[in-house]
A = this chain, B = another copy of it.
Amino acid sequence: MTGAERLPASARAILRGDRRALARAITSIENGDAAADPILAAIYGRTHGAPIVGLAGPLGVGKSSLINALVGLLRARGRTVAVVAVDPSSPFSGGSVLGDRIRFEGRVDDPGVFFRSMASRGASGGVAAATLETARLLDAAGFDVVLVETVGSGQVDVAIREIATTRVVVLVPHLGDEVQTLKAGLFEIADVFCVNKTDLPGADIAQRDLVDLVAHGTREGRWTPAVVGTSMTEPRGLEELWNAVEAHEQYLDRTGERATSERHRLTVEIVGIVRDRLGRELSEQLERDPALRGLLDRVVARSLDPRTAAHQLRLAVRRVR
């Protein structure tokens, strides 16, 4: 491989698919450690374009078993899969992550599967950047598909929207009012709707409601979100779910939207990194730099309000032209 001899040893190990090197690099990303810089720089441009499939949805919809089943399907088709469970870095999520680890233990000897839960509190560019960087490492290591699962809910779902190439929103029957409440937010996120637990009553209605929603909400010439029903008890719908994901990936290539969304993802990533670094530097400067300490002192003394202080600080941190 051209220039391979100039790569850092850890990057070479990752490109060979060395799982321990991969795990160490992901830990560096989590901790916001600069040790990941040369590795990420070296593997950038050595990725194969693995789809990043994000699965989001409320707690209790069965995301975890669905992902486990998807991994089985993909392995049966000879494809390798990496799963990243994005942990919103709360001390409270320990339990579910533990559950995830146990869940994947049965596949621990399969070199075609990689599972990693990621905290992100220390990550240098926030959750979105850390997950993108990790997906890129996994892609470079040769995994065919990267599945990103959110543990818990909330802001990480928003992050999923920014990073996945295909976004699957998992729901269950009995949506009712919820679909109405969520209407606004759903279309921004979903490329594929998956109504899981179709063995429960109300599944037909839920799917029909979503199909209606999709029909009314899709703009001419844009991707029409697919609506798929799945059940892990029978099981059924898994192939349809994966077909819908692949159809969306093909749509991205066919229309050139992949390039647009890739550019957007990179913007989110770069800005996330700069913003977080600036934030850390500012926090330190507010404590140490005499001029900025004075600004903070005035806010503490109530002679200046925080937004005005932020505005003044913003002017002090300007782009040099």
Contacts and interface: CB of A to CB of B under 8 A. Distances in A.
Interface of A: 36-37, 40-41, 44-45, 56-59, 88-95, 98, 121, 124-125, 127, 129, 132-133, 152-158, 177-178, 181-182, 184-186, 188-189, 259, 262-263, 266-279, 282-283, 285-287, 296, 299-300, 302-303, 305-310, 313-314, 316-320
A122 to B, nearest CB: 12
Contact of A178 (B95, B181, B307): B95
Given A92-B182, A178-B95, A275-B276, A306 B154 contact: no
Contact of A274 (B95, B152, B303, B310): B310
B309 A270 contact: yes
B90 A41 contact: no
Contacts of A272: 279
B91 A319 contact: no
A93 B133 CA distance: 28
Contact of A269 (B121, B188, B306, B308): B306
A277 B182 contact: no
B314 A274 contact: yes
Given A270-B310, A271-B283, A263 B320 contact: no
A158 B93 CA distance: 12
Contacts of A278: 274-275, 278, 314, 317
Given A94-B181, A271-B279, A274-B278, 6 more contacts: A58-B95, A98-B181, A266-B296, A270-B286, A272-B279, A274-B313
Contact of A95 (B40, B89, B181, B310): B181
A236 B299 CA distance: 41
